[in-house]
Structure 1
């Protein structure tokens, strides 16, 4: 009798398939990390190194931090960074508190007009930000918040997408948790703080990361609201580098890295909570 051929399972892969996967992962890694490494390398190269050679070198011949020092001496980059940090902090706190409260209300509470509110939230996601930017500016100006950091942070203080993400996370919790808490005499606030929040920390970390990145990288809205150069955020203030150092890409790369590093720090700090929440699932067991 001929020997039966082994049947491959769904989770088994051949060496050729495994090699192809690794090659694709390496390609994606190069496309993602490559520009960052090139900017970092350019920012560390000294004035004597030619960055326009036919065969460019990724490793600087004589690494130096002088480009960063020159950027800080010429442009008030640390003041701009502090302004961006203020805007990002307001945005993160607003989304953390507001999106959590709104998402919990839409997911776990029953009130008149709840479906209408949910429909309005979904409708706002259809409109691009450029459509509402004029009305946002008129609103901010009427509140007396034009040319202020609070006016920059206010439109993004509660993102509708973040509200829907938190609603989805709260909906994933079993209804028996709420029922048991109500039987024990817990009010709405206690159910949110002691039962719901500990089980959605992964989604909350995602909202914090996305809110910080969105506020830190925003360029168009701060450019419209702010007129005082002392209140510029980092993305707006770094545009001076394109005019001041247009012939020196080393300094432009150094300014870009200064703006990029806080994002790496925030993501590196919170990513473990995100992956931990994904591994544990919606409910701790």
Structure 2
């Protein structure tokens, strides 16, 4: 018997594998356990009259009856898609400028942009609200879209991507007569697709589930986003049916789930770009 076979069958190696599977099982349980419990609870609502539990989709139907779920979904989709597209554009343009151009105080300006990532949203929400109100955009969806278009993290990420691209590509395009905008949109931007995918997917997941800013900026129910509208399912003093509330939560998870499924590959490629030859 070879030394490798003996080492493979050693008690320490077996114990290590068992410990690894135990840790992974605990992680899976902690991750999927709340989701499974939410699904089971939503599918087994309790009748308030007979106090009996019935399996079915009645809680989902009741969620549509209690609140205008389609309207809230449309508002969330509009805000999230515009913010994601806007962040991809602004991050790409800002990252390209910081990576490819030289100008006075460039490093200082970039450091100030990164410093904004350390400032909590709770600190800036009041000044932003006052600016939005001064522009006449209070209680509108634009109040959620415009302040979210710049992204410090996206700018940093796209700057790193553009810095990794060879400068000879832009020089060759300029020799052929391409201007700065043509070089950006036709040469560098297509090569930065993995980075754009990361910015877009992260922006979608964050703003689809965002609750704090809509709570401050939005007053009218017709402008509620989905996370804000789901609070209405709780009823006064939280007396709403738990199954109905969780049914609404599950419905709100569907778009984010699709984005994760179809965006997993570009996200993985973007995160691992440049790590191998």
- Whether these two folds match at TM > 0.5 is yes
Alignment RMSD: 2.8
1:270 to 253, 263, 272: 263
Distance across 1 between alignment mates of 2:269 and 2:192:
11
Given that 1:67 and 1:251 are in contact with CA atoms closer than 8 Å, whether structure 2 keeps it comes out as yes
| Count of aligned positions | 268
Structure 1 pair 25–283 and aligned structure 2 pair: CA distance change class (3 A) = closer
TM superposition shift of 1:199: 2.7
1:188 aligns with 2:180: yes
Q: What does residue range 17-96 of structure 1 map to in structure 2 within 5 Å?
A: 17-47=16-46, 63-96=55-88
1:197 aligns with 2:196: no
Give unpaired runs (5+ residues) of structure 1. 50-60
Structure 1 pair 120–43 and aligned structure 2 pair: CA distance change class (3 A) = same
**Structure number with higher helix proportion:** 2
1:124 counterpart residue number: 116
TM superposition shift of 1:93: 1.6
Given that 1:83 and 1:149 are in contact with CA atoms closer than 8 Å, whether structure 2 keeps it comes out as yes
TM superposition shift of 1:112: 2.8
Q: So what's the TM-score if we normalise by structure 1?
A: 0.84
Structure 1 pair 193–16 and aligned structure 2 pair: CA distance change class (3 A) = farther
Structure 1 pair 118–269 and aligned structure 2 pair: CA distance change class (3 A) = same
Distance across 1 between alignment mates of 2:270 and 2:229:
37
Given that 1:125 and 1:160 are in contact with CA atoms closer than 8 Å, whether structure 2 keeps it comes out as yes
Distance across 2 between alignment mates of 1:46 and 1:146:
39
1:179-219 deviation digits (Å, cap 9, x = unpaired): 33334443322332333233322221111111112211111
1:259 aligns with 2:252: yes
- The 3-state SS of whatever aligns with 1:238 is helix
Distance across 2 between alignment mates of 1:246 and 1:116:
53
1:56 counterpart residue number: none
TM superposition shift of 1:18: 3.7
1:152 aligns with 2:144: yes
Distance across 1 between alignment mates of 2:228 and 2:85:
23
1:246 counterpart residue number: 239
Distance across 2 between alignment mates of 1:104 and 1:96:
12
Give unpaired runs (5+ residues) of structure 2. none
1:232 to 217, 224, 236: 224
